[in-house]
């Protein structure tokens, strides 16, 4: 649930442990990961400003949106941005990531302009520089001591365009084990990458939130164009699935539904849980002591070949040549009589059956071995 995520981020890291880290992932079928990211961002900002969270500052590494977008968004969400220099720093990797504009400005082609309230970063391929800048900005916000700050990475997908996976993973794991980092969260578009990238980032995170579409088909067009309005409605909704890794090694799985609106994203809880996960974990045992309902019904319906059915009808002896359907049994019982020696329409074969248990004389003291002549 989104609240639990925000609470975990608020609580932050314990001494000697890795900081909690969140991966938000989405796909083109349900591209609302950014909505979740901004939701978490605004929640974290509110908590930082109110002083309720462990972290006292926030560094946003912005790849896919400009810093002014974030400031506007926070203002719209009711967060006080007037004092923003005190608690938030936005590292601008959006305006000029590779330094081209800077080069063009140097040669006089483009006018140079600088954005206020953000730190321009022009060298995204240098991950060490990025890391030291993040730490510098963070400690600039919170000071050197034991106070911690949080880091939000706008889009790890963008980061991976410039830097190989092992370096990104190294950055994240270094940040997680740093003393001054309280929590870290990032967004990933999982269908763009190899499975390996997604699993590596999930390996490094303590919470994985995935945004999925309501209908399972890979594209929204399931061929039923008549239902277009329903499809469109459903497109703005989706499933929000979170996996928390707890300290004791168990995994907490939570499901919610979300609804994307003008003002942002709204979460509602979902009551249906599926218990299919557990079936795969426990090894299947090869015997079954219980009958399902269907099996019980079937058992009751089996016609025992040589015994009465317990329903008051005379004993019918099934000689294997008649059908087992109940209505034809009814007819057959009318035809055949008690003694099976009467000729039947099927041609004269008969079965004479004596139960073995009828042979037993209950109080016999005879020792069957007495019959042997030795």
Partner 1 sequence: MAATKTRTSSFSRNLPAASSAQSPEIKCGPNGTFFVSSGIPDLDKTLGGGIPLGSLVMVMEDSEAPHHMLLLRNFMSQGLVHKQPLLYASPSKDPRGFLGTLPSPSSPKDDKSRSHDAEQEKGLRIAWQYKKYFDNKQDFSNEFDLRRPLDRHFYTTQHVDCISTHDLPNLAPLQERCTSFLSHFPRSDSNIVCTGRIAIQSLCAPQCENSSMEWEMLSFIRALKSTVRSANAVAIITFPSSLVSPSFCKRWQHLADCLVSVKAIPDEDKELAKLLTGYQDIVGFLNIHKVSRINTQVPAVLEATTLSIKLQKRRYLVLECLNQAPIDGSGGTSYGTSGSCSGSSSKSGSLNF
| Nearest residue (CB) to partner 1, 79 versus 207 | 207
Stretch that binds partner 1, among 54-62, 93-101, 180-188, 202-210 (CB under 8 A): 202-210
Nearest distance from C-beta of residue 145 to partner 1, angstroms: 21
Residues numbered 5 to 24 that lie near partner 1 (CB under 8 A) are none
The DSSP result for 287-337, as a single string, is ------HHHHHHHHH---SSS--SSSPPP----SSS---HHHHHHHHHHS-
| Nearest residue (CB) to partner 1, 169 versus 329 | 169
Asked if 216 interacts with partner 1 (CB under 8 A), we say: no
Spatial CB neighbours of 156, under 8 Å, sequence gap ≥ 6: 168, 186, 187, 188, 201
Spatial CB neighbours of 63, under 8 Å, sequence gap ≥ 6: 93, 94, 97, 124, 153, 154, 155, 158, 159
Strand pairing class (207-212; 237-245)? antiparallel
| Nearest residue (CB) to partner 1, 118 versus 201 | 201
Q: Are 149 and 55 in contact (CB under 8 A)?
A: yes
| Nearest residue (CB) to partner 1, 90 versus 156 | 156
Nearest distance from C-beta of residue 195 to partner 1, angstroms: 8
Nearest distance from C-beta of residue 248 to partner 1, angstroms: 5
Asked if 177 interacts with partner 1 (CB under 8 A), we say: yes
Helices (H), 154-194: 156-162, 165-176
| Nearest residue (CB) to partner 1, 284 versus 299 | 284
Nearest distance from C-beta of residue 159 to partner 1, angstroms: 14
Asked if 169 interacts with partner 1 (CB under 8 A), we say: yes
φ, ψ for residue 247, nearest 5 deg:
-65, -30
Residues numbered 139 to 168 that lie near partner 1 (CB under 8 A) are 165-167
Nearest distance from C-beta of residue 179 to partner 1, angstroms: 13
Asked if 173 interacts with partner 1 (CB under 8 A), we say: yes
| Nearest residue (CB) to partner 1, 114 versus 278 | 278
H/E stretch holding 107 reads none
Asked if 83 interacts with partner 1 (CB under 8 A), we say: no
Burial 70-92 (b: 16+ CB within 10 A, else e): bbebbeebebebeebeebbbbbb
Nearest in space to 183 (alpha carbons), one of 56, 331, 365? 56
H/E stretch holding 62 reads strand 55-62
User: DSSP code of 222?
Assistant: -
Spatial CB neighbours of 167, under 8 Å, sequence gap ≥ 6: 127
Nearest distance from C-beta of residue 17 to partner 1, angstroms: 11
Nearest distance from C-beta of residue 364 to partner 1, angstroms: 41
Q: Which of 48, 212, 260, 316 binds partner 1 (CB under 8 A)?
A: 212
| Nearest residue (CB) to partner 1, 158 versus 212 | 212
φ, ψ for residue 52, nearest 5 deg:
-90, -10
Measure the CA–CA gap between 240 and 237, rounded to whole angstroms: 10
Stretch that binds partner 1, among 55-63, 200-208, 340-348, 350-358 (CB under 8 A): 200-208
Q: Sheet containing 21-26: give its strands across.
A: 118-120, 88-92, 55-62, 148-153, 181-189, 21-26, 207-212, 237-245
In DSSP terms, 117 is beta-bridged to none
Nearest distance from C-beta of residue 153 to partner 1, angstroms: 16
Stretch that binds partner 1, among 122-130, 151-159, 241-249, 361-369 (CB under 8 A): 241-249
| Nearest residue (CB) to partner 1, 70 versus 186 | 186
Measure the CA–CA gap between 304 and 292, rounded to whole angstroms: 21
Residues numbered 256 to 295 that lie near partner 1 (CB under 8 A) are 275-290
Q: Which of 51, 223, 226, 249 binds partner 1 (CB under 8 A)?
A: 249
* Residue ranges that bind partner 1, judged by CB under 8 A: 165-167, 169-170, 172-174, 177, 196, 198-204, 210, 212, 241, 243-246, 248-253, 275-290
């Amino acid at each position: 649930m989104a609240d639990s995520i925000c609470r975990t981020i608020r609580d932050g890291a314990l001494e000697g442990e890795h900081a909690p880290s969140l991966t938000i992932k989405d796909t083109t079928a349900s591209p609302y990961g950014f909505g979740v990211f901004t939701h978490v961002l605004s929640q974290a900002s509110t908590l930082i400003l109110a002083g309720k969270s462990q972290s006292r500052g926030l560094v946003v590494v912005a790849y896919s949106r400009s810093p002014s977008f974030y400031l506007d968004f926070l203002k719209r969400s009711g967060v006080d941005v007037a004092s923003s220099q005190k608690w938030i720093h936005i590292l601008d990797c959006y305006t000029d990531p590779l330094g081209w504009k800077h080069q063009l400005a140097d040669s006089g082609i483009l006018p140079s302009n600088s954005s206020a309230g953000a730190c321009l970063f022009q060298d995204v391929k240098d991950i060490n520089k990025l890391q030291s800048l993040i730490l510098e900005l963070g400690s600039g916000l919170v000071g050197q001591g034991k106070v911690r700050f949080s880091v939000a990475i706008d889009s790890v997908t963008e980061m991976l365009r410039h830097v190989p996976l092992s370096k990104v993973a190294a950055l994240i794991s270094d940040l997680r084990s740093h003393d001054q980092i309280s929590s870290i969260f990032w967004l990933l578009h999982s269908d763009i990458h190899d499975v390996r990238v997604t699993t590596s980032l999930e390996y490094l995170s303590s919470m994985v939130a995935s945004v999925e579409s309501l209908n399972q088909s890979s594209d929204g067009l399931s061929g039923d164009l008549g239902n277009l309005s329903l499809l469109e409605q459903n497109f703005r909704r989706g499933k929000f699935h979170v996996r928390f890794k707890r300290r004791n090694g168990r995994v907490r799985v939570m499901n919610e539904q979300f609804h994307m609106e003008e003002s942002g994203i709204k979460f509602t809880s979902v009551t249906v849980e599926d218990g299919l996960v557990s079936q795969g974990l426990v090894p299947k045992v090869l015997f079954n002591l219980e009958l399902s309902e269907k099996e019980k019904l079937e058992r009751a319906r089996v016609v025992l070949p040589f015994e009465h059915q317990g329903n008051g009808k005379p004993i019918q002896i099934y000689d294997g040549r008649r059908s087992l359907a109940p209505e034809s049994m009814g007819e057959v019982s009318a035809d055949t009589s008690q003694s099976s020696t009467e000729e039947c329409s099927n041609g004269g074969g008969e079965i004479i059956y004596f139960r073995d248990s009828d042979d037993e004389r209950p109080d016999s003291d005879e020792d069957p071995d007495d019959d042997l002549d030795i």
